[in-house]
Amino acid sequence: MLSTSQYDLNEIIQKIKTRSPFEVKDNERSRPSSLRVIISKLFYSLDYEKEPQATREKVTQLLLYHGQFSKEEIDEIFRLSAKETTAYSMEFLKQHPEVAKAEALKSKEFPDEAEGEEGGRIKEIKYIFPHYG
């Protein structure tokens, strides 16, 4: 399995750019764990707070270009890390102007009521990964 000290982020990015393979044990548990570490490091190195979906796409494209992991493997790691939230990113608000307008009105007119309406509000998907050293 890829240990977090075996490669630092710069080495991972360099290996992706040169399409060099990572040393990963190909068993059922090690491969997903290694991929989770790689995705986490790449994801947190980009603008994930403002643009979680664009960041996911960038990470996916980098890893597909690298060629060692399949789209299905990458998508599964993101699926397992997905969380619904009403703490909207700038990317989400730009794509959903009606939500941005509603959020602005709520925060100005009824700041105390914004907390209680969580259930009926549209939710954004964000990704939460462990942080690795």
Give the pTM.
Answer: 0.80
Residue 33 belongs to domain spanning = 9-127
Cβ atoms within 10 Å of 119's Cβ, excluding its own: 7
Q: Name the domain count of the chain.
A: 1
* Helical axes 30-45 vs 52-66, angle rounded to 10°: 130
Q: Which distant-in-sequence residues (6+ apart) come within 8 Å of 22 by Cβ?
A: 2, 7, 12, 15, 34, 38, 68
Residue 25, in any domain of the structure: yes
Structural tokens at position 31: 């491969």
Residue 75, in any domain of the structure: yes
Residue 132, in any domain of the structure: no
Residue 1, in any domain of the structure: no
List pLDDT tens digits, range 72-120: 999 999 999 999 999 999 999 999 999 988 888 877 665 555 454 555 7
Residue 29, in any domain of the structure: yes
